[in-house]
Chain A
Amino acid sequence: MSASYLLRRLLTILLTVLIVSMLVFGITQVLPADAAVMLLGENATPEQLVAVRARLGLDLPVWQQYLGWIGHVLRGDFGTSLETGLPVGEVMFTALGRSLLLALLSLLLMLVVAIPLGVVAALRRGRASDLGIGLASYVGVSMPEFVTATLVLITLGNPAFGLLPSTGYVPLTEDFRGGLARLVLPVLTVSVILVAHVVRMVRSEMVDVLGTDYVRAARMKGLSRPRILFRHALRNALLPTITVVALDIGYLLGGIIVVEEIFAFPGIGRALIVAIQQRDLPSIQAGALIMAATYALANLLADLAYAALDKRIRYA
């Protein structure tokens, strides 16, 4: 892969984020919310409102407002929350950090569980274990997140059993064991959903690879079974899974709001929902932009990983 390719990809990401920023800004303009009213409350006089609008620049043309906002964003200043008065960027990046922790742990658990299951299903194609794994993954895929989460809550998280704390979040730096214990249930819930999805992927890829000429050639060379399975088959079967995992990262950042909500996990999805409910425009803008950028970067990373593992892919 060439340096110019990397540069092009980064420029594309920049362009994508720029377009997203315009869309987000445009949407917040048409939302039925008035920042001045939000700040001053319903009882403000018209004169006060005008004064606040002038102070915030809300009376300027939209494009000037956009330029002013994006200029600050580029300097790392996402503005302050209308609701809490806190710097939005800091709040959102903290939430992103927590979400990424949840996402990475879930992905890790998912890979550890899904790959062996997919391989077993492929090797024992058409037999009871394959059908069982297939059925379980169908159930896992079809169950709504809140059902999975509720099931996890009333079993492992049931206060009557006292196994694990059911909700909340404690930074690992403050209380490592307590923080980890609170991560278990959300990670488990999210993993169940991902596992179901990836098992099926690994299984079908593995079935394809096991049927290729080169795997048959490896068998005809009398190689040992582990060598054929891991070096020749599994490695190649996992390549497409990387792309799927990258798409999952997008889901993990924005799509697991229900899970975050149920476990009271303060991730970026939840922060964004709260911001939307409160019509907190700077928070909405920052959250959406940060999520888009993270998603684009995750996809780039997946493409790079794919190229590193499969030498046939060369980005020029």
Chain B
Amino acid sequence: MSEAPAVLSVEGYDLSYGRFAALRDIRLAVPRGQVLGLVGESGSGKTSLAYAIMRHLPHSAVEGGGAIRLSGQDLRAMTAQQMRHIRGSRLGMVFQDPSASLNPTLRLGEHVIEVLRRHKRLTRPEARDRTEAMLRRVGLREPAAMMRRYPHEASGGEKQRVVIAAAFAAEPECLLLDEPTTALDVITARQILELFTELQAETGVAALYISHDLALVSRIAQRVAVIHRGRVVENDPAAQVFSNPREEYTRRLVAAVPRPDLRLVRDAPAEAAPVLAVQGMTVRYGRQGLLQRLAGRAAPLPAGAREVSLELRPGEILGVVGESGSGKSTIAKALVGLNGFEGALRHEGRSIAGPAAMDRDYRRAVQIVFQHPDASLNPRQSIGQILSRPLALYGTPDGLSRRDAVAALLEEVQLPADFAQRYPHQLSGGQKQRVAIARAFAARPKVVICDEITSSLDVSIQAQIVQLLLQLRERFGTGYLFITHDLNLVRQIAHRIAVMYRGDLVELADTAALGGPQSHAYTRALLDAVPTPVG
């Protein structure tokens, strides 16, 4: 490996919070023009490292030995005042969610102008001109108009372009990118990634790219460092980390990354009558104002999903994919009676006219698991109470006592029986999602709607949850409506995949046939945008 002098180097750095060692003996180096990927699961210390480099640590942080150098200068020796001149000018940062990292009451242009004014000492007209040029460079078509907009008036992709323009504005030597595409749609994320790669090549900036997504990082970084429990366990060329990982942990991580070529479900669903059939379902949002109704000039309400038709056979896994706002969750909510709908819904041949017609039988048969267990589990109830509720409603199986049935449910989702006494906040994210799954299965449903249930989980936990779902399906013959934005994951498990785009179901095809020549243009764009693992 050629030893170009490192722009950013971390040498034997230690950091702890109280007695908890967050980072131990971290060694990294990023030469000019290179991208180092930093991959780790939540709690691994990757964000702590980013803020240690930015010299923005909470008071509770205690630094041990080691140095953090930017072009040879030790940042740890810098005063707060000196750091304020280094941040944003020589050392930049791009954040995860552009909606949160842009000030909602500041015009978009101002977010770039303020950097140029501060670090390049430009006058306001100069900064304005430079900003306009920058915004054009990051691919915003009408930069002058965009500068006048407020963050809520721009799309996620446009906002992240502004954030990137601000990060590159002062021509930094080094950039830290903290999951810069995680909050974006697949296709937008791909575009942002391409933009970053272009700008990076153009400016020769050294970049530390932090992500939990090994597949994505292995595509843009020359080297990948894997961080686990505060230690860098692997630091190798990207292709090698993926194809030939050295460490046991990395091997497990790589194995957990969903790859569409490794199918996890081999059987085909039985050729039986559909358990759930939807015909021309339209879901509308909002309600007519009183005045409009009185005036009799009610405009049609906006539709979250239009004329959707699909059916689910017993034991089938039907994937539903699409970007945020495409109507995936809208349909899910309509199916469990949280949204009203127009069109026909049939459950085992029985017509269900609307939420009011969803009786106990229907609700028992069709259960839902939501994305955020933190929001869907009542924090003031113990796990036992949470699981007892559906048991009281639908009865315990095989004449078990309520307590035994709760224990049996916990066992089904591979949690210890004594979790019944615990409260949600005492559980990890993956454990909470297991409880949510147990709650759904308490009703012995025929269909479980999984609405992005693994999206907030780490990849290794996601793999375990998916494994659990497949085991439960094996045992109870449950069908899943599996809603996700993760195409690689859904292609591993779904029999058929429905693609939604802006409220329309644009395609419904067998998983193997998806993306073929007959596929819808949007489906193909979606498939192209997804980084599949290298190697």
A: residues with CB less than 8 A from B are 8, 212-225, 227, 231-232, 235-236, 239, 309-312
- Asked whether B115 lies within 8 Å of A221 as measured between CB atoms, the reply is yes
- Asked whether B152 lies within 8 Å of A214 as measured between CB atoms, the reply is no
- Asked whether B88 lies within 8 Å of A309 as measured between CB atoms, the reply is no
> How many angstroms from the CA of A310 to the CA of B163 in the assembled complex?
21
- Asked whether A224 lies within 8 Å of B118 as measured between CB atoms, the reply is yes
Per-position 1/0 for B74-102, Cβ under 8 A of A: 00000000011111110011010100111
Closest chain-B Cβ to A122's Cβ sits at a distance in Å of 16
Per-position 1/0 for B51-92, Cβ under 8 A of A: 000101000000000000000000000000001111111001
A218-B103, A222-B84 known; 9 new pairs, CB 8 Å cut-off, are: A214-B104, A217-B101, A220-B88, A221-B93, A222-B89, A223-B84, A225-B84, A227-B118, A231-B106
- Asked whether B114 lies within 8 Å of A214 as measured between CB atoms, the reply is no
Q: B93 — which chain A residues lie within 8 A by C-beta?
A: 217, 220-221
- Asked whether B88 lies within 8 Å of A214 as measured between CB atoms, the reply is no
- Determine which of A8, A213, A219, A221 lies in contact with B114 in the assembled complex, contact meaning CB atoms within 8 Å: A221
Q: B119 — which chain A residues lie within 8 A by C-beta?
A: 222
- Asked whether A214 lies within 8 Å of B85 as measured between CB atoms, the reply is no
Per-position 1/0 for B414-425, Cβ under 8 A of A: 000000000000
Closest chain-A Cβ to B127's Cβ sits at a distance in Å of 13
Known: A222-B86, A227-B118. A309 touches B166 (CB 8 A): no
Specify the chain B residue showing the minimal Cβ separation from A219.
Answer: B56
Known: A311-B150, A311-B152. A223 touches B105 (CB 8 A): no
Point out which of B95, B97, B105, B163 has the most chain A C-beta atoms below 10 A from its C-beta.
B105
- Determine which of A216, A223, A225 lies in contact with B88 in the assembled complex, contact meaning CB atoms within 8 Å: A223
- Asked whether B150 lies within 8 Å of A232 as measured between CB atoms, the reply is no
- Determine which of A214, A215, A222, A235 lies in contact with B87 in the assembled complex, contact meaning CB atoms within 8 Å: A222
Q: A214 — which chain B residues lie within 8 A by C-beta?
A: 100-104
> How many angstroms from the CA of A219 to the CA of B95 in the assembled complex?
12
> How many angstroms from the CA of A267 to the CA of B93 in the assembled complex?
57
With an 8 Å Cβ cutoff, the count of chain B residues facing the other chain is 30
> How many angstroms from the CA of A221 to the CA of B93 in the assembled complex?
7
Point out which of A213, A219, A222 has the most chain B C-beta atoms below 10 A from its C-beta.
A222
- Determine which of B56, B89, B105 lies in contact with A309 in the assembled complex, contact meaning CB atoms within 8 Å: B105
> How many angstroms from the CA of A280 to the CA of B124 in the assembled complex?
63
> How many angstroms from the CA of A312 to the CA of B153 in the assembled complex?
8
Closest chain-B Cβ to A1's Cβ sits at a distance in Å of 15
- Would you list 22 pairs from A and B whose C-beta atoms are within 8 A, ordered by A residue? A213-B97, A213-B101, A214-B103, A216-B56, A217-B93, A218-B103, A220-B88, A220-B95, A221-B93, A221-B114, A221-B115, A222-B84, A222-B115, A222-B119, A224-B84, A227-B114, A227-B118, A236-B104, A309-B105, A311-B104, A312-B104, A312-B105
Q: A310 — which chain B residues lie within 8 A by C-beta?
A: 104-105
Closest chain-A Cβ to B57's Cβ sits at a distance in Å of 12
Q: A309 — which chain B residues lie within 8 A by C-beta?
A: 105
Closest chain-A Cβ to B149's Cβ sits at a distance in Å of 9
Known: A213-B95, A236-B103, A311-B152. A220 touches B118 (CB 8 A): no
Closest chain-A Cβ to B405's Cβ sits at a distance in Å of 43
B: residues with CB less than 8 A from A are 54, 56, 83-89, 92-93, 95, 97, 100-106, 114-115, 118-119, 150, 152-153, 163, 166, 291
Q: 3 shortest A-B CB distances, which residue pairs?
A: A222-B88, A222-B87, A221-B88
Specify the chain A residue showing the minimal Cβ separation from B169.
Answer: A221
- Asked whether A220 lies within 8 Å of B152 as measured between CB atoms, the reply is no
Closest chain-B Cβ to A84's Cβ sits at a distance in Å of 45
> How many angstroms from the CA of A218 to the CA of B88 in the assembled complex?
9
- Asked whether B100 lies within 8 Å of A220 as measured between CB atoms, the reply is no
Closest chain-A Cβ to B166's Cβ sits at a distance in Å of 7
> How many angstroms from the CA of A218 to the CA of B106 in the assembled complex?
12
Closest chain-A Cβ to B88's Cβ sits at a distance in Å of 3
Closest chain-A Cβ to B438's Cβ sits at a distance in Å of 34
> How many angstroms from the CA of A232 to the CA of B152 in the assembled complex?
16
Closest chain-B Cβ to A283's Cβ sits at a distance in Å of 37
Point out which of A212, A221, A224, A311 has the most chain B C-beta atoms below 10 A from its C-beta.
A221
> How many angstroms from the CA of A107 to the CA of B89 in the assembled complex?
42
Q: B86 — which chain A residues lie within 8 A by C-beta?
A: 222
- Asked whether B152 lies within 8 Å of A312 as measured between CB atoms, the reply is yes
Closest chain-B Cβ to A22's Cβ sits at a distance in Å of 21
Q: A231 — which chain B residues lie within 8 A by C-beta?
A: 106, 114
Q: B87 — which chain A residues lie within 8 A by C-beta?
A: 219-222
- Asked whether A221 lies within 8 Å of B166 as measured between CB atoms, the reply is yes
> How many angstroms from the CA of A231 to the CA of B117 in the assembled complex?
14
Closest chain-B Cβ to A138's Cβ sits at a distance in Å of 26
Closest chain-A Cβ to B82's Cβ sits at a distance in Å of 10
Specify the chain B residue showing the minimal Cβ separation from A232.
Answer: B103
> How many angstroms from the CA of A8 to the CA of B103 in the assembled complex?
31
Point out which of A212, A217, A239 has the most chain B C-beta atoms below 10 A from its C-beta.
A217
> How many angstroms from the CA of A287 to the CA of B101 in the assembled complex?
50
- Asked whether B118 lies within 8 Å of A236 as measured between CB atoms, the reply is no
Closest chain-A Cβ to B398's Cβ sits at a distance in Å of 50
- Asked whether B95 lies within 8 Å of A217 as measured between CB atoms, the reply is yes
Specify the chain A residue showing the minimal Cβ separation from B89.
Answer: A222
Q: A232 — which chain B residues lie within 8 A by C-beta?
A: 103, 106
Q: A215 — which chain B residues lie within 8 A by C-beta?
A: 103
Closest chain-A Cβ to B108's Cβ sits at a distance in Å of 11
- Asked whether B85 lies within 8 Å of A217 as measured between CB atoms, the reply is no
- Determine which of A216, A222, A311 lies in contact with B118 in the assembled complex, contact meaning CB atoms within 8 Å: A222
- Asked whether B100 lies within 8 Å of A223 as measured between CB atoms, the reply is no
Closest chain-B Cβ to A97's Cβ sits at a distance in Å of 35
Point out which of A8, A223, A235 has the most chain B C-beta atoms below 10 A from its C-beta.
A223
> How many angstroms from the CA of A224 to the CA of B119 in the assembled complex?
10
Point out which of A213, A232, A236, A239 has the most chain B C-beta atoms below 10 A from its C-beta.
A213
> How many angstroms from the CA of A291 to the CA of B267 in the assembled complex?
75
